[in-house]
């Protein structure tokens, strides 16, 4: 059983004995038997749609259901078009990264953050490097400082197994 149902009950699907009816122009027609409300709707070549089933008595409206569904779909499509999908881009560093390589990775991260994405920075520890997790934390902090003008550290560096990860999100536009 679904809790929230997008489909509204229309015409013969409405099983209530009495309903409060709103006309096509938005005017109140009052409380009447559902078969009388359905007859009025069919006379106007429109549908009887139950819009507030939880009310007592339930509220039904006389409208063109096909047109209503079309406009609803159009609104949803418009809202979806305006949405921005945030991706998570990953940048991998190593403990013995050179300055120019580090600066290149910072440049990539800044480009991702300016694009509105999140950046996952990770350092992978290999072999004996596991004995020095503080070196990885130092590199991560240096990376965060380099990206500070365009991004905020969302999740501080955390050691998980053989890798240390940190998340940086773009600063909100002003």
pLDDT along the chain (174 residues), means of 10: 56 85 88 88 90 87 88 88 83 92 94 91 91 91 91 90 92 75
pLDDT for 156 equals: 92
- Amino acid 145: pLDDT: 92
Q: pTM (2 decimals)?
A: 0.55
- pLDDT value at residue 3: 39
Residue 2: the pLDDT is 35
**pLDDT for 6:** 58
pLDDT at 52: 85
Calpha distance 149→109 (Å, rounded): 12
Strand stretches in 17-174, DSSP E: 18-22, 28-33, 47-52, 59-63, 88-93, 118-124, 151-160, 163-170
Distance from the Cα of residue 50 to its chain's centroid: 28
Residue 147 makes CB contacts below 8 A (sequence gap 6+) with 106, 109, 110, 113, 119, 168
């Amino acid at each position: 059983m679904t809790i929230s149902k997008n489909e509204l009950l229309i015409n013969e699907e409405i099983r209530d004995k009495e309903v409060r009816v709103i006309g096509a122009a938005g005017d109140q027609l009052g409380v009447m038997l559902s078969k009388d409300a359905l007859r009025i709707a069919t006379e106007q070549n429109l549908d009887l749609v139950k819009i507030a089933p939880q009310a007592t008595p339930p509220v039904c409206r006389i409208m063109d259901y096909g047109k209503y569904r079309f406009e609803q779909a159009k609104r949803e499509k418009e809202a979806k078009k305006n949405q921005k999908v945030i991706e998570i881009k990953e940048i991998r560093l190593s403990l013995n990264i050179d300055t120019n390589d580090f600066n290149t990775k910072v440049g990539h991260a800044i480009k991702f953050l300016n694009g509105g994405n999140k950046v996952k920075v990770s350092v992978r520890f290999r072999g004996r490097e596991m004995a020095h997790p503080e070196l990885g934390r130092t590199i991560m902090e240096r990376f965060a400082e380099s990206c500070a003008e365009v991004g905020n550290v969302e999740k501080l560096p955390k050691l998980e197994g053989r890798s240390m990860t940190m998340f940086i999100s773009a600063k909100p536009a002003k």
